[in-house]
Structure 1
Amino acid sequence: MKAKAIKKTKVTVQNRQPWGRLDEKTKEKIAEEVQSGLLSQRGASQKYGIPKSTIGLWRVKHNLVTLFDRQGPNKLLQMNESQESKLLLKKIEELTKALEDAQLKNIALETMIEVAESELHIKIRKKRGTKQS
């Protein structure tokens, strides 16, 4: 007996569902699947036809929501101490990375302002203590 071959259509830009039309529940579900380790970010990207970067943004957005959602306190109570501490350490690592990224962005913007001021010979930064009119 021959096994029937399941024809899997490749997700392309033309046949995928646009991510902007997904409701928040679906976005949360995808973010939770990636967060929990059921799917990798790349696997979720291929499965749902959504760019990896978009899924990454959803994970960041729904990171704290999934920790402290309506069922969050119940989930945290059901965990033992080691599971809870691992979850909290993972959140701390993610928040630390987000802080480092924000600090790098701030340094880049400061450098850009300094270069623009020196190249264009104009004052971009506002003087402290000046009154607005």
Structure 2
Amino acid sequence: METRRVKFKSKRAEKNVPFDKRKIKEIVEQIESGIPRREILSEYGMHESTLTNWMTRYGSKDYYAERSRRYSPSEKRSVLRAVESGMSVREACVAFGIKSRTVVDRWVKQQKAENAELSRQIPPVKSKKKQQKEVSAGETKSLKEQLAEAQLKIRALETMIDIAEEQLKIDIRKKSGAKQSPK
């Protein structure tokens, strides 16, 4: 079943006359109180970018702190596992309290790119020496499988380190340029 968007006529007579600052702040407060943007846009007959600019300029810090939430690596992995196990992106957003589908879509796309990179075929290295033995196709396949397994193992260990650092609040990885303690 198709749904069509209905365009409303705005109540605003003069579209070339700028809004009063008090009216702008009133509109921003309405958005922050939870009134959908579409209703505001249709009621006041303004462009979406105008409203976005007003929210950036006049919106409260609490409103933006809520909107621009950062997700930990473990939260991302949990959402991605749920999506891989058959949950839809929309269901995952509801279940994990994520407001935007595009965030989860971006994570899925990044994960697919990482997996493709890990499983990519590595071309054989050409040797300058003519006397070097040719590696058989079976050995090449075996070496590629071992390399892919090692890369997956490294990724798993890095994930474990991320989780341990997050849960224990301890820096585990060595920082570059860090001075060693005297023995």
What TM-score do you get using the length of structure 2 for normalisation? 0.29
Q: Which structure's relative contact order is higher, taking Cα pairs within 8 Å and 6+ residues apart?
A: 1
Structure having the larger proportion of residues in helix: 1
* Higher Cα radius of gyration: 2
